[in-house]
Amino acid sequence: MASYDYIIVGGGLAGLVLAARLTEDSSKRVLVLEAGEDLTADARTSVPAMWPTLLNTDADWQFKTVPQPGFNNRQISFPQGKLLGGSSGLNGLSFTPSSKANVDAWAKLGNPGWDWASFSKSLAKSYTLTTAAGTTAGDGPLQLSFPKDTDNSWPKIWQQTLGGLGFRQSGESYTQQSTGPVTVADSIHPASKTRSYAGNAYLEPARSRENLTIVTGAPVSKIVFAKDGSAVTAEGVQYVKDGETQTATGKEIILTAGAINSPRILEHSGVGDAKLLAKLGVDVVIDNPNVGENLQNHPMAGLSFEAVEDAKTIDGLARQDPAALQAAMAAYAQQLGPFASSGTNNAAQLPFPGIQTAEGKAEVEALIAKYITGANNGGNAAFAEAQAEFVRSILTSPEEASGYYISFSGFASFNPDGTMAAPPPGDEKYFSVALLLTHPLSRGSVHINSASQSPTDLTIDPQYFSHPLDLEILARHLRFVESLASAEPLASHLKAGGKRNPAAQSAGTFSADSGLEKAKEYLRQTTVGAHHFTGTCSMMPKDLGGVVDAQLRLYGCPNLRVADASIIPLTPRANPQATVYGVAEHAASIIKGGL
């Protein structure tokens, strides 16, 4: 049986960052076990716009929530990458670091060394950013760039419209804080305009190292523990390869299977709530009811508005019009056009609508007083208090964002089950704004419901909108989206009285007196979950709800660490990949003894 210094369970975003960094020391032998396959040579991972073609294939875990009462009992299906590189190989490419306030709040929970000042250094190790002017910042493996197109007027329209409403770009858009319009970088290589991700940027330079072994198509079923009195040591892992169960042993195990699968593997291995595990017939190794709790995700909604006839949008391509497809392919040959970018570069981080006025301040204070109460906070009371304090500080500051707005030159709407909706038939063009609640208070859970491993052995319950303040805040941001559409210069690029996405069309306007209630009902009907799960093996003191300590060691088993999106105790304010790269770089420094 082979033995290693480190066994990395899950060769996804965090797993491959760790594999690359830990094998820099040639004396350390590292094994990576990845359930999915190596698709690094597959065009669906490399051509930026092709990622949706990987959804609902074998490269996707194809998860589904239980019915969500806050979403009128809809079940929301959602993807997670099952391939070398994990979700970084099929994600939407936006690279949006979180705010200083968010990361500092992790440290405040009792995680020394995880404040913004320290964490941002690890984040900076991960990327090289090439600006539109061709200058570079940083020298990390991941390549970031902006679209090269110069004939697109939407970015200016977006910035000028927000500028007219008092929101000017501030701070640095991708390396620190920023409130107002932001130009978001893509994880796309500036030279080739292909996806840059853990599967190539981190893996390629490390792949040929003799001390690195990668096994794909190798789902890990459990961690093997040894018990000596009350001391628990992780000895190795059990995995399946070509239908055969195998075991690998290692001095240290690092779990990086993502926010859904990391707690799943722990529970199948006997680490979790003893009562739940005993009921399912799993032998309990470490009793910690926090495993699988604190599941956080951004609720995401949006509005599409009909654009004027000569607007440049991607609706023709989305309707698979052959001429539009041909034009997009020709443009991609020049490293331009919709295939060469995420299409989500023009965004905004905006505070509570109206916070700049005395009325707005009073409104948010009244909402906080009404809704942040013990009865609503649920779960671990001490954590709920800390989380509420953090969210209160965000909501009451004109410098912090409670809404993340992503503009899109085309129809962008979701089906009731969370999948992307196609544009309605016809030849109308659309401009859309997707809206995310940056820091939801609602928290859910993911737990196994059976000791036997199967695709249905998980109960995933994000509990969207279970905290009533989330809906109240998002509804006010939705109204603000509507008001944006009637502000200049954007208004002149939309058809007066034009169509909207069908659900918005039937809901009517949200700005009238009864609009807030309409907005809430529209959100219950149409909001979906982003693919941004965090928190299920949270890093914080155990009595606050923690699963790992600030060195990322599992409570009760010091040679098992968790080091992926699941350790993030308070979710980042927008798309999380940048933060997960930072977490993995930080973890590598901790493990190598540098921190």
Ligand X SMILES: Cc1cc2nc3c(=O)[nH]c(=O)nc-3n(C[C@H](O)[C@H](O)[C@H](O)COP(=O)(O)OP(=O)(O)OC[C@H]3O[C@@H](n4cnc5c(N)ncnc54)[C@H](O)[C@@H]3O)c2cc1C
Q: Smallest distance from the beta carbon of 55 to ligand X, in angstroms?
A: 6
Only segment of 160-168, 256-264, 329-337, 394-402 that touches ligand X (CB under 6 A): 256-264
Cis peptide before 181 (omega within 30 of 0): no
Q: Is 261 in the site for ligand X (CB under 6 A)?
A: yes
Q: How far apart are CA 254 and CA 552, in angstroms?
A: 9
Q: Is 248 in the site for ligand X (CB under 6 A)?
A: no
Helical (H) or strand (E) element with 588: helix 577-591
Any binding-site annotation on 334?
Answer: no
For residues 180 and 343, which CB has a smaller minimum distance to ligand X in the complex? Answer: 343
For residues 285 and 469, which CB has a smaller minimum distance to ligand X in the complex? Answer: 285
Tokens of 252: 């240290």
Using the 8-state DSSP alphabet, how is residue 83 labeled?
B
CA dist list (Å): 202 to 17, 338, 349, 512 = 6, 26, 29, 51
Indicate the residue type of 61. W
Cα 121 to its chain centre, rounded Å, is 21
Q: Is 86 in the site for ligand X (CB under 6 A)?
A: yes
What b-and-e string marks burial along 225-260, b requiring 16 or more CB atoms within 10 Å of the CB? Answer: beeeeeebebbbbebbeeeeebebbbbbbbbbbbbb
Q: Smallest distance from the beta carbon of 453 to ligand X, in angstroms?
A: 9
Classify residue 10 as left (phi > 0), alpha (psi -120 to 50) or beta.
left
Q: Is 564 in the site for ligand X (CB under 6 A)?
A: yes
Q: Hunting for tokens 């993807």 — which residue is that? A: 79
Q: Is 14 in the site for ligand X (CB under 6 A)?
A: yes
Interacting residue with ligand X among 7, 20, 90, 386 (CB under 6 A): 90
- Interface map 474-503 toward ligand X (x if CB under 6 A): ------------------------------
- Counting runs of H as helices and runs of E as strands, what totals does the chain give? 17, 27
What are the DSSP E strand ranges found in 314-412?
Answer: 346-350, 403-408
Tokens of 205: 């330079």
Q: How far apart are CA 265 and CA 564, in angstroms?
A: 13
SS (H, E, C) 464-511: CCCCHHHHHHHHHHHHHHHHHHCCCCHHHHECCCCCECHHHHHHCCCC
Q: Is 265 in the site for ligand X (CB under 6 A)?
A: yes
**Touching ligand X, residues 36-55 (CB under 6 A):** 36
What are the DSSP E strand ranges found in 396-481?
Answer: 403-408, 413-414, 420-421, 430-437, 445-448, 458-461
Q: Is 532 in the site for ligand X (CB under 6 A)?
A: yes
Q: Is 13 in the site for ligand X (CB under 6 A)?
A: yes
Interacting residue with ligand X among 88, 102, 159, 402 (CB under 6 A): 88
Residues 6 or more apart in contact with residue 322 via CB below 8 angstroms: none
Only segment of 255-263, 363-371, 511-519, 548-556 that touches ligand X (CB under 6 A): 255-263
Interacting residue with ligand X among 8, 35, 266, 406 (CB under 6 A): 35
Indicate the residue type of 351. P
For residues 464 and 522, which CB has a smaller minimum distance to ligand X in the complex? Answer: 464
Q: Is 565 in the site for ligand X (CB under 6 A)?
A: yes
For residues 434 and 475, which CB has a smaller minimum distance to ligand X in the complex? Answer: 434
Q: Is 82 in the site for ligand X (CB under 6 A)?
A: yes
Interacting residue with ligand X among 7, 23, 34, 272 (CB under 6 A): 34
Q: How far apart are CA 313 and CA 191, in angstroms?
A: 25
User: How many other C-beta atoms can be found within 10 angstroms of the C-beta atom of residue 53?
Assistant: 14
Q: Which residue is nearest to ligand X (CB)?
A: 12
Tokens of 458: 């998980």
Interacting residue with ligand X among 430, 576, 587, 588 (CB under 6 A): 576
Any binding-site annotation on 182?
Answer: no
Number of residues counted as binding ligand X (CB under 6 A)? 41
**Touching ligand X, residues 208-227 (CB under 6 A):** 219-220
Only segment of 28-36, 106-114, 292-300, 328-336 that touches ligand X (CB under 6 A): 28-36
Only segment of 69-77, 146-154, 254-262, 362-370 that touches ligand X (CB under 6 A): 254-262
Tokens of 219: 């789902």
Q: Smallest distance from the beta carbon of 531 to ligand X, in angstroms?
A: 3
Q: Is 577 in the site for ligand X (CB under 6 A)?
A: yes
Any binding-site annotation on 17?
Answer: no
Q: Is 10 in the site for ligand X (CB under 6 A)?
A: yes
Rg over CA atoms, the chain: 23
Only segment of 253-261, 300-308, 401-409, 478-486 that touches ligand X (CB under 6 A): 253-261
Binding site for ligand X (CB under 6 A): 9-15, 33-36, 79-82, 86-88, 90-94, 96, 219-220, 256-259, 261, 265, 531-532, 564-565, 575-578, 580
Residues annotated in a binding site for FAD:
220, 576-577
Residues annotated in a binding site:
220, 576-577
